[in-house]
Structure 1
């Protein structure tokens, strides 16, 4: 086990739950859906810059599943990441719970930033609609992650589009289900909320994972080259173009033969 990668996933997930879900629990009445969405997005970007070079900053079991299906990590590493993410989510939620208990008249039972459908959805969205919404929103996040990254690590400007995709998913999803898009993010708060939050937790674990699988499948068709294509391109590189679009050797690309000399050839 690579200890530092597991620790990075553990700390990163704990921070995402503490500050992302914390914005909903502690400040939701003041910053509304837009502010909560930006808090999740900005937190992810900041954590990605901190841990992206260490573990890739998945901090989301659905992202890890997508990366696994893209064959960038092996199954053992994925399992280590999943354990670290769920444990980190519990620890982050526990710290947030302790903070919330210090706020007078703040209700935590049955809510506490947990996700829900039916009567627990802000718009009353049913289970089927909630499942579809979580699949599509998670698809957006995982697909963007797979597209902007080429390896395990998350470097350069790559955290920015991933964070923006996460903010957009929350902006759409908060009025529907309080936006999971992350099984670990749903798991930690649901433990402390209890009641119906635990009863509905299954959807917010299964649906994001389905979205991650869908993103990996689509990414394979849209961005991965057929087997052997890279080797063929390296063995037969395209001719280098010279001035005015001519190929080296005095041939135009479209003519296929010797070019007719013009005044500029004199």
Structure 2
């Protein structure tokens, strides 16, 4: 007797992991969002303020812009690339062996490209308002503080940021779905405190992208920004490493040997 014809099996939708080009494109887009909305709010706020003194209201406006940019980036591309959008974060992840160095190098290049794209978009918005005078969102060290205090401020601010990123987004024990909100608001708080000293870049790409494009359009403060650029590279990278290894120390846990507890903690760690 012949076997009955086999019935067609329904296809199951299979989720595949994003490819490296997809991840890199996501990093370009996420970093462009950060620079366009966050850093771009700086010259727009200066323009709207006019001759009025730059005070806490303006600083809060810029801080909120960065927070909302991070909300958008994390929840739009976080599930694709992890939404590093910051070389300091990527280097910290590579240093703690959560990302391989080859991938990290590609991510950093994508972030720098995204920062340039974001600065170019800011330029387009400002074309009618003299972007060469306003700049495109780069920041500078307060002359009363000095460069080394500026480095220290960037180290402290970025250490807090990366510590928070590791706790809220990297550690699998963190509550799901809150990373964007937590990271966005910690950036808001850091900018309020560190902003008056350095502008609180906390991110080498966020400074490098605008500075490069400002140089191309003839920004009046370009030479000063270029001379201080090392502050915004060394400070955030060092701070990111401090925050990452500090979290690795306090966040690392060993499975208890108490009967019953060991099994529960092991199961939680594997979940």
**What TM-score do the two structures reach when normalised by structure 1?**
0.79
- 1:10 equivalent to 2:23? Answer no
- 1:113 equivalent to 2:113? Answer no
Deviation at 1:179, TM superposition (A): 1.5
Deviation at 1:109, TM superposition (A): 4.6
Q: Who is 2:92 aligned against?
A: 66
* Range 21-30 or range 4-13, more displaced: 21-30
Unaligned runs of 5+ in 2: 1-18, 50-56, 215-221, 264-271
DSSP-derived class of the 1:161 partner = helix
Distance 2:120 2:151 in 1: 27
Distance 1:73 1:53 in 2: 15
Q: Who is 1:264 aligned against?
A: none
- Based on CA coordinates, which of the two structures has the bigger radius of gyration? 1
- 1:99 equivalent to 2:125? Answer yes
**1:172-231 deviation line (CA, Å, top 9, x unaligned):** 122111111000000011113322111111110111000001011111110012xxx34x
- Residues matched between the structures, number: 229
- 1:143 equivalent to 2:163? Answer yes
Distance 2:38 2:24 in 1: 21
DSSP-derived class of the 2:94 partner = helix
The answer to whether the 8 Å contact 1:139/1:215 transfers is yes
Q: Who is 2:185 aligned against?
A: 164
Distance 1:183 1:239 in 2: 42
Distance 1:34 1:70 in 2: 33
Unaligned runs of 5+ in 1: 241-266
CA spacing shift, 1:188–1:150, aligned 2, 3 Å? closer
- 1:84 equivalent to 2:105? Answer no
Q: CA RMSD in A?
A: 2.4
The answer to whether the 8 Å contact 1:90/1:188 transfers is yes
**What TM-score do the two structures reach when normalised by structure 2?**
0.78
Deviation at 1:150, TM superposition (A): 3.5
- TM alignment of 1:1-266, pairs within 5 A: 2-28=20-46, 29-30=48-49, 32-103=58-129, 106-109=130-133, 111-117=135-141, 121=142, 124-150=144-170, 156-193=177-214, 194-225=222-253, 229-230=254-255, 236-238=259-261
The answer to whether the 8 Å contact 2:167/2:247 transfers is yes
The answer to whether the 8 Å contact 1:182/1:205 transfers is yes
Distance 1:124 1:108 in 2: 25
